[in-house]
Chains A and B, each alone.
Chain A
Amino acid sequence: MTPKPVSYEQLWGIFACLILALLAHLGSLPVWVLVTVAVSGGLRLALARRGRAGPPRALRLSIVAVAIALLFVQFRTFNGLSAGTALLVLVAGLKMLETETQRDIYVITLSIYFVSVSALLESTSFWLFAYLIGVCWLTTAALLRLTGTLPLPDWRRCLRYSGRLLGQALPLALVLWLLFPRFAGPLWHIPEDGHSAASGLSDTMSPGDIDQLALSDEVAFRVHFAGAAPPPQERYWRGPVMHAFDGRTWSRAYSGQLGAPALQPQGPAYDYTVSLEPNQRRWIFALDWPSHWDLADAALTGDYTLMRRDPVSRPIDVAATSHTRVQWTTPLSPTMRERDTRIPPNSNPRTVQMAQSLRRAHPADAEYVSAVLAMFTQQPFYYTLTPPKLSDNSVDAFLFDSKRGFCEHYASAFAVLMRAAGIPARVVTGYQGGTFNRFADYWIVRQSDAHAWDEIWIEGRGWLRMDPTSAIAPERVEHGAGDALNAEDALGVGWRGRMHWFADARLRLDALRQLWRERILFFDQDSQQKLLEWLKIPEPDGHKLVLLLAAALTLVLCWLTWIVRREVDTSRKELLVRIYARLCAKLAAAGLPRLAHEGAEAYAARVALRRPDIGRAVTALCRHYSTLRYAAPTAHITVGQFDAAVRAFRPTARPKSSRRRTYR
């Protein structure tokens, strides 16, 4: 077989498809790779347009060598998804430079397919999936134009044909996807890509950190409670706990201590599933205080944060149990006590001074705490998203000057006041509250629900949660940040709150997203087990799954063979006669049977005479029939369209008045 040269038009089509597939990698690939591909493709196209061949071989090879070397310098490896994809993309793009024959384009289409899959491997987005299916559709249509040897069919017909192919492939793909056995873990270790940005709460907390988050509508996680949900004032989702304070910023002190102290659970247990969105952080937001979870590589730290070994880089589901009320049974160790009462010397002197004078007035811990909270409510403190910038002694500035702050200001100031009085205190960051999705029975916790609160150690009772924000803005805890900030409308939540249809639509969309996640993204061995159970297959196991797959594949392939062959088994003439017979049957049912000697045109004329109301339609249909049957190649209507028209044709019963007239 001699290699067939490609035309400018074919080149153009395939290049467009390559670029569309690459767009799916926009965020994950180095920009210079995309630019290189675009430039080399564009160059080749420009040359082809003038009817010239690609650049000479030596030049091409040196460009490829330079590009691959650059790639290696950037990634240091070709192992791993990003590096491997970048290499593939680069090679496919540079292949554009030397496309002379059909075979080169075949290679490019194959790499388009693979590039699409690699974009999907670490993605969870429905839209990306739909987009890439679209790209695959286009590429397949372009391929159709490539392999055709005779005058190429136009784009629209190619798209229609490849769309039909995709449609016919759908049942088969569905069976394979549902029943192909899934493995519990990866076949081999996947190198992690280190350059995805972390989002959400971080290891440290400075004034202004959380109010940045509060502007984000991004979903942090979703929670489904197996039974009743705890009341809002108990829905605290625990994240990293901060111990060290440098006068402005709180941070986690890595004590290296794992293994949480034992707790005596009190009150009801809550079973729930947290569906975490990827955030590149290691902690899992569990309800205060978690006792069980189903994640093998997660453990509680000494301060009761649930931590994973690896960052959450893809969505995970964690089923857990928590008790919102607990009794502490272990005492606070002296080192811990020392750590949680330390304030940097010479920082925030006014606060320390005030704490000491207040402590002298209230020597009992409980009274001191009440006095501090009373100070927050009595003095003109404001809960706001737009607090003024604070100096290094942030607590002094906040307590005595601005008196305006978000939750992290209150939590920070409260902890410092406690520590200054010798009460061990720590700042807990996490999320509080959440929006209930009444369309699908789960809670949505967004970044805007990020929160900071305190825990103080009271001898005999253990760590107690104190939320100073609730003293200033109780509605923050009851209804969420959006309601608490309604007055100043910094979130822009106000107008949304007034537009109920908008809120509802958002919730419905989110419910769909959760369904997508549950049914599609998290489809695994267990789901297959459930599927077999649902099909009433006794003792489902992997073996039976494979048998079922084989049986289903056989059935679908038989169906496929049938629908594909059906189109050529009946001749066009038979098909037309069958459709025409259906039209005649419909008219016969309406009281106008075709006479044996009547041709289509004569029949139509007679029907038009007897039933002027449907005369025009019948005449048109009969004319289509004659055209298709006897003047096929020039007909401007297809057999399919004729079939649809006959199906849609409904001769209504004869109007009563006209019937009476004919009887007379």
Chain B
Amino acid sequence: MRTIRQAAIDKIRAWSARRHGLDSLPIKINRRRIYILPTRFGIMLGLVLAAMLIAGLNYNSNLGLAFGFLMASVALVTMHHCNRNLLGLQVDVTTEVDAFAGREARFEFVLKNASNVERRDVEIRCLTASGICSVAAASSESVSVAVPVPRRGITRIAQFELRTRHPFGWFNAWTYVQGSLIAHVAPAPRGERTLPSAAGAGSGSRSEVRGDEDFAGLRAYEPGVPLKHMAWKVLARGGEAAVRSYTSLAALPEWLEWSALTGLDTESRLSQLCLWVLESEAAQRIYGLRLPGREIAPAFGAAHRFACLRALAAYAIAEPR
């Protein structure tokens, strides 16, 4: 039974994917892509309505019939309201997120409601995970959906769905969105080896690296820079987004090396490297990552960390097209 149901759902999903093609986000949900079916409770209500109709006809009771017809009409109106609850909603989502294996990839969805009616209880489903929210009239709301990612690699979600049972749970309206969501799943940070200290660190040799100790001027904005380094005053004057650049005196960069971790299997090595990346970042060191066939130059900061983690996630895995 379960498998038949699942098979039917998969068929509908595939059909809907063919029908609508790949969607570009943000997407506004039009009426052609909203599907609606009664829930189990809705079917029960239908049976009760049928019983009301038969009883009314049998007893030749115009009042009974009137009540039954009113309830049936309410059910039909409810169907329209359920459908409307999704209609015209605009959905946006951060398509690429980072996560660690065994934890969750958090996709931040933004639902925007330009209309003058509240959208209540809209559920967003990605694979098995879901998030739910209501969006007031002429406002927007963000929902985060935490998709569990058990394995390292690049998890791609080709489709997510929006569904609602508002107002009474008699109907279930839903829509599929074909947007490819990508989670870069870094290996779970784990391992016993100690963080290698900067190899061949000479006592007097210093290199000037970007750091956060002494102000050194402005440089162009790039994603991932800590907010506290933003040059807000420049931005407020109408200039380009800029970042205050600092220098810090640090030791020589340390290299987190794949080749240093002999005696471990691939995943354990990657986990150990991941842990080192996090530890180096926490210790505010300057580090570089060397994987077979891939090298990331020493630096530090959120952007650098992400680059390293993504490299670990993608190691020996086909690149997403």
Q: Point out residues on A near B: beta carbons under 8 Å.
A: 81, 102-103, 106-107, 110, 113-114, 116-118, 120-124, 128-129, 132-133, 136, 140, 143-144, 146-150, 153, 161-162, 165-166, 168-170, 172-173, 176-177, 180, 182-183, 185-188, 190, 520-524, 557, 560-561, 564-565, 567-573, 575, 632-633, 639
Smallest CB–CB gap between A474 and chain B, Å?
A: 44
**Alpha-carbon separation in the docked complex, A150 to B168 (Å):** 14
* A contact residues around B116 at 8 Å (CB): 567, 570-572, 575, 639
**Alpha-carbon separation in the docked complex, A166 to B165 (Å):** 18
Cβ of B60 within 8 Å of any chain A Cβ, yes or no, is yes
User: B58 and A136: CB pair below 8 A?
Assistant: no
**Which of A176, A522, A523, A524 has a CB less than 8 Å from the CB of B72?**
A176
* B contact residues around A568 at 8 Å (CB): 84, 87-88, 115, 117
B133-151, CB < 8 A from A: 133-134, 136-139
Smallest CB–CB gap between B305 and chain A, Å?
A: 35
Q: A187-B54, A565-B84 known; A173 and B69 CB under 8 Å?
A: yes
User: A166 and B59: CB pair below 8 A?
Assistant: no
User: B166 and A573: CB pair below 8 A?
Assistant: no
Q: A165-B81, A572-B114, A639-B116 known; A133 and B62 CB under 8 Å?
A: no
Smallest CB–CB gap between B51 and chain A, Å?
A: 7
**Alpha-carbon separation in the docked complex, A185 to B54 (Å):** 13
* B contact residues around A639 at 8 Å (CB): 116, 137
Cβ of B33 within 8 Å of any chain A Cβ, yes or no, is no
Tally of chain B residues near chain A (CB < 8 A): 55
Smallest CB–CB gap between A110 and chain B, Å?
A: 5
Cβ of B298 within 8 Å of any chain A Cβ, yes or no, is no
Cβ of B48 within 8 Å of any chain A Cβ, yes or no, is yes
Majority secondary structure of chain A interface residues (helix, strand, loop or mixed): helix
User: B88 and A172: CB pair below 8 A?
Assistant: no
Smallest CB–CB gap between A142 and chain B, Å?
A: 10
User: B138 and A133: CB pair below 8 A?
Assistant: no
* A contact residues around B138 at 8 Å (CB): 571-573, 632
Cβ of B37 within 8 Å of any chain A Cβ, yes or no, is no
* A contact residues around B76 at 8 Å (CB): 169, 172, 557, 560
24 A-B pairs within 8 Å (CB atoms) are namely: A102-B169, A113-B71, A117-B67, A120-B64, A120-B67, A121-B63, A121-B64, A129-B63, A148-B120, A161-B167, A165-B74, A165-B81, A173-B66, A173-B73, A176-B73, A177-B66, A186-B59, A187-B54, A187-B58, A560-B77, A560-B80, A564-B77, A572-B114, A632-B138
User: B121 and A147: CB pair below 8 A?
Assistant: yes
**Which of B73, B133, B139 has a CB less than 8 Å from the CB of A633?**
B139
Q: A117-B68, A521-B63, A568-B88 known; A165 and B139 CB under 8 Å?
A: no
Cβ of B17 within 8 Å of any chain A Cβ, yes or no, is no
User: B69 and A567: CB pair below 8 A?
Assistant: no
Q: A144-B168, A180-B69, A564-B84 known; A186 and B60 CB under 8 Å?
A: yes
User: A103 and B41: CB pair below 8 A?
Assistant: yes
Q: A117-B52, A117-B56, A567-B117 known; A176 and B134 CB under 8 Å?
A: no
User: A113 and B58: CB pair below 8 A?
Assistant: no
Cβ of B225 within 8 Å of any chain A Cβ, yes or no, is no
Further contacts, 7 of them, CB under 8 A, given A106-B169, A116-B67, A120-B61: A147-B121, A147-B167, A148-B120, A173-B73, A177-B69, A188-B58, A565-B31
Which of B51, B88, B138: most chain A CB closer than 10 A? B138
* B contact residues around A190 at 8 Å (CB): 58-59
User: B81 and A136: CB pair below 8 A?
Assistant: no
Cβ of B78 within 8 Å of any chain A Cβ, yes or no, is yes
* B contact residues around A176 at 8 Å (CB): 69, 72-73
Which of B41, B56, B74, B76: most chain A CB closer than 10 A? B74
Nearest first, the 5 A-B pairs at minimum CB distance are: A169-B73, A571-B114, A172-B73, A572-B138, A572-B116
User: A182 and B57: CB pair below 8 A?
Assistant: yes
User: B88 and A569: CB pair below 8 A?
Assistant: yes
* B contact residues around A143 at 8 Å (CB): 168-169
User: A633 and B136: CB pair below 8 A?
Assistant: yes
Smallest CB–CB gap between A590 and chain B, Å?
A: 28
**Alpha-carbon separation in the docked complex, A180 to B69 (Å):** 10
**Alpha-carbon separation in the docked complex, A188 to B54 (Å):** 10
**Alpha-carbon separation in the docked complex, A144 to B120 (Å):** 11
**Which of A150, A564, A567, A633 has a CB less than 8 Å from the CB of B132?**
A150
User: B115 and A572: CB pair below 8 A?
Assistant: yes
* A contact residues around B218 at 8 Å (CB): none
**Alpha-carbon separation in the docked complex, A140 to B73 (Å):** 13
**Alpha-carbon separation in the docked complex, A521 to B168 (Å):** 31
**Alpha-carbon separation in the docked complex, A135 to B132 (Å):** 31
Q: A150-B121, A173-B70, A568-B87 known; A114 and B48 CB under 8 Å?
A: yes
**Alpha-carbon separation in the docked complex, A569 to B29 (Å):** 11
- B44's nearest neighbour on chain A, judged by CB, is A110
**Alpha-carbon separation in the docked complex, A560 to B79 (Å):** 11
User: B168 and A117: CB pair below 8 A?
Assistant: no
Smallest CB–CB gap between B138 and chain A, Å?
A: 4
**Alpha-carbon separation in the docked complex, A176 to B57 (Å):** 13
| 0/1 string, B105-116, CB within 8 A of A gives 1 | 000000000111
User: A523 and B73: CB pair below 8 A?
Assistant: no
